[in-house]
Structure 1
Amino acid sequence: MDPFRRAQIILLCDLCKTAHLQSHCERCDINLCQTCVGKHLSDSSIRHKVVPYKYRKSLNYSKCPDHADELCKHYCEKCDIPVCSTCVSSSKHEGHDISDILEKLSAKTESLQKDLDELETRIYPRYEEMASDVQTEKAELETNYGELTTIADQQGEILHREITAIVNQRKSDIQEMKNKHLSTLNKNTNEITQKMAELKQIMSDLKSILKSNDVSLTSTYQSRNSEFRTLPPKVRVTVPSLSVQKINKDQLNEMFGSLSPLSINIEHGDTMKSAEAVSSPPVKPLLDEPRLTATIDTGYKYLFSVSCLSEDQVWTHGENETMKLLNLQSKLLTSIKTKSGNIPADIAVTRDGDVVYTDPNKRTLNLIKNRKIQTVITLQGWYPLTVCCTASGDLLVTMISDDETQSKVVRYSGSTEKQSIQFDDQGRPLYSSGGYINKYISENKNLDICVADRSASAVVVVNQSGKLRFRYTGHPSNTKQSFKPAGITTDSQSHILTADHVYNRIHILDQDGQFLRYIHCDLEFPHGLCVDIRDNLFVAEYNTAKAKKIQYL
């Protein structure tokens, strides 16, 4: 083609077909003019990614293994693979949930970038710091052991020939201890160095995947960040001391002094918090008089729980199978019915803005993503009850056994069980048995797990390892008043807030279980609780079916 003719070709907007294009939506793979960008972005059901046209990325679609002439521009959620248009219409994928590959790529790319950022800025530097600490300790070890040898020599000169044999023996003991310490530290160094090499390789692979923009590589990537958040054991060595005494020829061996026992203290590696959990929030004092700032009429007969999507949008569920997303003006933004038609026991919003709900009748935990419901966990022998999402993205679920004689809390990563919390150090149950939906759960900012156990008339708090920290059974001065906690939540200050529906108030505790204050605000039978990103409290009133927004910090 003549280069002068080619220079005269005008690239037009894919929507209006008349104006010059200036931008490109990588999510929808279309070109846009300045006027049409606003119209395109008005569709809030899709997470658009609009960039200047010259900075657009070209997508490398994989070829379909079954249909060589077609590209895989769709994604089968059930089979978890990219598929082409012919595959979609075939019987092989009949009834399967099919999504757009661009949407899947966008989510995966975002996840990959988060992993890379965490590895580069947080995890790998911690390993470097640990490696440096070991080298410093080795240097200090040389100095300290040198001082021990000098002391032994000085004491030997005083005792002369009578204690020559003892001097040599002590120096031999010192050298043996030193060698064991050095051997232990060298082993620790090798372990850390090996992990650092693995991390470098993972980061290199991630950069290659991100740079290639290859759909196949991106979709098959499996994150290993959680594996490396648990740091290797850290070796702490304690240099022995040498006690010296005045010379007594009859007790030369005893008087020369003895070395303290060899001490190597291995501290198990800390599990680093995810990037979202490490920032220190600003201090926010409690208000003397909490203020009611909004009231949402949910339209239910009875309101069970509320979960914040944002500071002005909340998910709710009541006495039927429909879950509603409402704004502060009580406007219904969307509603979704449970997959089974059963009433959900509880709902929670994930870090990604999706909704999870429990269905005790079906023994399932379900995820709502892009208005599609996926069952992620099905239990055997247990009923799932309440649920909360943790800072790391895990799910904490309270559950009760089929015969209602046992209760426990289980942590899930995806559909994999990671932790079960049921008994204290003496083997006694942490939570009450019996009842149905009488336990409510939340994770505190210090990673404590807080359960409002209504049947036990207590808030039970364990640390992230499942060890009991304390039980709160109501204000110490109110020994004659019953305490029946319902909903529970926590805020950025690590306060624990629990609903006391018998006396129409909220208890505010510090992270160690000390009572701080009540919130009243004319509440009527407060039940479910949640706190938004700005520490506004939302209270679900059971009888009035209203959700109230309260400022208390």
Structure 2
Amino acid sequence: MSEPFDEQAAMQHYLVCGTEDCQKNGQFYCNDCHRSLCEQCRDEHLINPKTKIHEIVLYRHRKQQLPVEKCELHPTRTVDMFCRECQIALCSKCSTMTEHHTHTFDDLEEIYSEKYAAWQGEFSKIQKYFLPTSLGLKTDIEEDATQIKKIMESIRTSMKAEAESLKNLVDEVTSENIKHTHTMENSLLKMLKSQETTYEDYMAYLEYMSDEFQEYLSITNQKLLFSKTLKIQVIPETTKPVPPVFTAGQFNKHDIIKLLGRVNVPNTKPEKRKIQAMEAESTHMKSTKKQLEQSKEKSDEKQTLCLSSSVTKVREYSVPGVDSARHVSVDKPGRFWVSDSNGNLVQTDLQGNLLQKIQTSGRDEGYHTATQDGDLIYTDKYKKVIYKITSDKKITEFIKTGDWTPLSVHSSRINGDILVGMDIGKEAKVTRYSKAGKEIQNIQRNNQGQELYSNLHYITENINGDICTSDYNKSAVVVVNKSGQHRFSYTGQGSRFYPYGICTDVLGHILVCEGLSNTVHLLDQDGGFLAFILSPQQGIKYPCGVCVDDENNLYVGQITNTVTVYKYLQ
């Protein structure tokens, strides 16, 4: 059911027309007058004889206005001309001076606009090609480093195994040699024992002969001296043992290296890393034909879409199973996930039927996100684990975050990376993981070493790769580019700003809920405020979570269990 257009509310919701006393939506822009125009004022501008030749474009295609700079020689004049011959900027009065009498002048605003567009183009190349390509090369290097570590560890394991094998052989040979010495020793001792026995027998013989000769020498037996012949057996001959000699092995360190082997770097020329050509960027970023077609459709759609003159309510749901709608993740067409402040996470369809319900540790955070593959990823801040729910309702452990507590999560629509906002104590950071769950990048501090974040309760990614976070403690939307460099912080339109849910759309707009004023702010991708796209006048009550689906419908979750869907692009 559509709501009637409230012109007074539109004054608050959109960039106001720059024509005096006109409060309509200024969706167009005059590059000559440098002011926004509503549709009616644009038509009047084009038929007015004084302004009909002016260049009028959509507001997002506007030329950048030349910064005001006063002439040093003529302080009342503004620098707005460029002298080709002198290559300097000057005012119109300077151009009439003698030294510039015959010189040629260009409109400085045109030059500035051209330069601005050129630098924007270069900046776009940095964001869309150079940074992603460099990040890819950095990732390749990290993967190579991991592979080198694995290879070197494998080599060390092989070395230890070779050394252990050689040690076992040395022990075996040494054991055999020692055993052989025992055998040789026993043989020699046995021989010596035999010789000892020979002399013991001979000495016994000599004792016997001595006794017998004593008997012959007695007076009573003197006759025997004449009848017996004296003959003593000669001393037996024996040989001395020849002791074994140990001949030490002849080897050195080089011989051991030959036995054990050594590590060498192959004499191979290193292969250069392949750098994807910039012309092929779009195919480099997309992996399938289907993704390429979807990308083209979105690009075509982006060229035709613009802000509508009013916000239209499409439908409204009372979501079963939750007492509030703190965060919304659109799943496949016709299904979405909603979480409340009690940890209930439910999936429902467009008819309000409850499809799934699980209990989680989540509260007032954007702790779940739908992936391009149709899965849901959600964080568990107590277990410090990120889980994945597949289409068959199977829940698996996906990523462990160590000591860091994961609070918010977003699945990139650009490349499928997983962005996680997490903290530990007073520190906070954004960690990027690949689709497979491999840690790629950590973002924590700016170039001056200052902490970027404090309370990362909601996180999303813009079409240019910017990482946008809603930081309640800092009272700001903090935006960094994909390499982690701080771009800007948006702190609201009043003295106080309490940001909650955040998302982006196909035009690069940033939409963020603000709790104090019960509004949804619309920003351009450079942080410029465009409109209060929703406010209490439209029945919004404490908006908490926002999400844009593939059909550019805006889902808004409120402090009740209500999710309202709006159309704001046309």
Rg larger for = 2
- TM interval, short-chain normalised: 0.3 to 0.5
TM score, norm. by length of structure 1: 0.48
TM-score by length of 2: 0.46
